[in-house]
Amino acid sequence: MTAMIRKSLNEPEETRPFEEGMGKVDLVNLEAGAVGRAVFESGWKWSKHVKPIAKTDSCQASHMGYVMSGRMKVVMDDGEEQEFGPGDYMVVPPGHDAWILGDESCVVIDWQGLADYAKR
């Protein structure tokens, strides 16, 4: 029998800040991998605030998440575009840029793709 597990993103095991204080990722580690809550501040853009950390031309993480608040636009390397907002479930393959739309911070719970995201 498997035991219950309780972890809280309000008490993360690791926090990774973005460049220029434009948000952060709080992580808890589970057997299946890291789960995180990402807070992207208004004005955040992957190519400006995470690219210097990742050192790749575009985000190479695959994301599977749920948008709690705010709005995010994602543009794939091939030009495909999508906007995500509160209540949206998102699956985003590797090879994209993203930025926040509007004045509200965007909060995303991500079950995939954060193990090395914004890791220095």
**Domain at 14-112, CATH homologous superfamily:** Jelly Rolls (2.60.120.10)
**pLDDT digit string (tens) for 20-72?**
999 999 999 998 889 999 999 999 999 999 999 999 999 999 999 999 999 99
For the chain, the average pLDDT equals: 95
Q: Quick one: which of 44, 17, 41, 25 has its CA closest to 109? A: 25
Query: What pLDDT band is residue 114 in, cutting at 50, 70 and 90?
Result: confident
pLDDT attached to residue 1: 60
Which residue ranges make up each domain of the chain? 14-112
